[in-house]
């Protein structure tokens, strides 16, 4: 496979990353994951916008226009003949003698690669289990930072418990998943944490909120508690790779009837229909 390194297409074994790359030593960088469906980048513009926004929030300047960057991602997918899969792209502050403050003259290092991934259709049909875990991350979760230790530790704890995802909470308040956004449905209304500094405003989340508008489903971007979560009629999570994933059990307790909810399934169908439209155009 080809990979992209600072705008150049190279082979994987040709990649040379410094021992003092600030991404490697400090996690000083940001990233994106873009889904590829039938050779097309899904919601690419939104992901590219967020990539530039995250970079700006940590004062890294991407040395390409968004259009050039978009074309690079598109070419990479085409060169690697990715049908269903994803692009991973990250930028670090670059290579410099190790010291905490920003180096004076360093160029950012951008690396992108592709991977073939199928849609998790069986899990999306059956639903998954989740586990509550205290959200111990920092207060800028709106940045898609390479620093993922808080997320990694939470996911590992959930994984060891046999759960698919960790539902993070600060005190009583549910924020998001370790790599997803969280939603509960009660009496026909969908609740999800507002897009503040405490969550990553998922691109899938934005697609879902738009779909809800089209379908006439009321959404309240209002945080809910752990207790309220357990009393929801339906529960689901969303991410670029998991799409809309029903959560049927939290901490061993059934949510609703313990099967994927009706409205969750309706949203999944709408998402899929939207996908076909987007991919074709
Ligand atoms: N929150 C966190 C912490 C995440 O890592 C992700 C996945 N990148 C999301 C939410 C969902 O974002 P998206 O829908 O853009 O993949």
Q: Residue 211: which H helix or E strand, with range?
A: helix 203-215
| Residue pLDDT, tens place only, 11-41 | 999 999 999 999 999 999 999 999 999 999 9
Separation of alpha carbons 210 and 37, rounded Å: 20
Mutational pocket test of ligand 1: of 181, 192, 236, 242, the residue with most ligand atoms within 8 Å of the beta carbon = 181
User: In the chain, what are the domain boundaries?
Assistant: 2-116, 121-280
Please name the CATH architecture into which domain 121-280 falls. Alpha-Beta Barrel (3.20)
Q: Record the tokens describing residue 28, joined without a space.
A: 């000083």
Q: To the nearest 10°, the Cα dihedral for 240, 245, 249, 255?
A: 120
Contact of 184 with 240, CB cutoff 8 Å: no
Q: What is the DSSP letter of 14?
A: G
Q: 79 pLDDT exceeds 80?
A: yes
Distance 105 CA to ligand 1 centre (A): 32
Query: What's the alpha-carbon Rg for the chain, to the nearest Å?
Result: 19
Mutational pocket test of ligand 1: of 117, 145, 200, the residue with most ligand atoms within 8 Å of the beta carbon = 200
Q: 188 pLDDT exceeds 60?
A: yes
Binding site membership of 202 for ligand 1 (Cβ less than 6 Å):
yes
Over range 83-112, report the average pLDDT: 96
Q: What is the pTM of this model?
A: 0.97
Please name the CATH architecture into which domain 2-116 falls. 2-Layer Sandwich (3.30)
| Interface predicted TM-score (ipTM) of this complex, two decimals | 0.99
Nearest CA to ligand 1 atom 5: 179
Write out the DSSP string of 120-158. -HHHHHH-EEEEEEE----S-TTS-BS--HHHHHHHHHH
Q: 275 pLDDT exceeds 90?
A: no
What residue ranges in the chain does DSSP mark as E strands? 2-5, 8-11, 29-37, 40-41, 85-92, 109-116, 128-134, 165-170, 173-177, 181-186, 189-192, 218-220, 234-239, 243-250, 253-254
Backbone angles phi, psi at 210, to 5 degrees: -65, -40
Active site residue 116: no
């Amino acid at each position: 496979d080809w990979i992209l390194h600072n705008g150049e297409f190279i082979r994987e074994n040709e990649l040379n990353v410094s021992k003092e790359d600030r991404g490697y030593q400090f996690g000083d960088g940001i990233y994106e994951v873009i889904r590829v469906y039938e050779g097309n980048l899904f919601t690419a513009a939104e992901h590219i916008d967020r990539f530039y926004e995250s970079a700006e929030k940590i004062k890294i300047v991407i040395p390409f226009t968004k259009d050039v960057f978009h074309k690079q991602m598109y070419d990479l997918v085409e060169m690697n003949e990715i049908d269903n899969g994803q692009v991973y792209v990250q930028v670090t502050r670059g290579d410099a003698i190790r010291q905490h403050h920003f180096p004076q003259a360093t160029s950012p290092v951008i690396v992108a690669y592709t991977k073939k991934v199928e849609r998790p259709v069986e899990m999306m049909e059956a639903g998954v289990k989740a586990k509550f875990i205290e959200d111990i991350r920092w207060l800028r979760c709106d940045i898609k930072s390479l620093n993922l230790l808080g997320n990694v530790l939470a996911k590992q704890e959930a994984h060891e418990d046999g759960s698919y995802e960790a539902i993070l909470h600060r005190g009583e308040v549910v924020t998001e998943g370790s790599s997803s956004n969280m939603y509960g449905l009660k009496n026909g209304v969908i609740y999800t944490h507002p897009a503040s500094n405490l969550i990553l405003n998922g691109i899938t989340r934005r697609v879902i909120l738009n779909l809800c508008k089209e379908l006439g489903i009321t959404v309240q971007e209002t945080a809910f508690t752990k207790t309220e979560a357990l009393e929801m009629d339906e529960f689901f999570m969303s991410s670029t790779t998991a799409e809309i994933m029903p959560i049927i059990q939290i901490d061993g307790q059934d949510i609703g009837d313990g099967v994927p909810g009706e409205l969750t399934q309706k949203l999944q169908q709408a998402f899929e229909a939207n996908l076909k439209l987007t991919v074709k155009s």
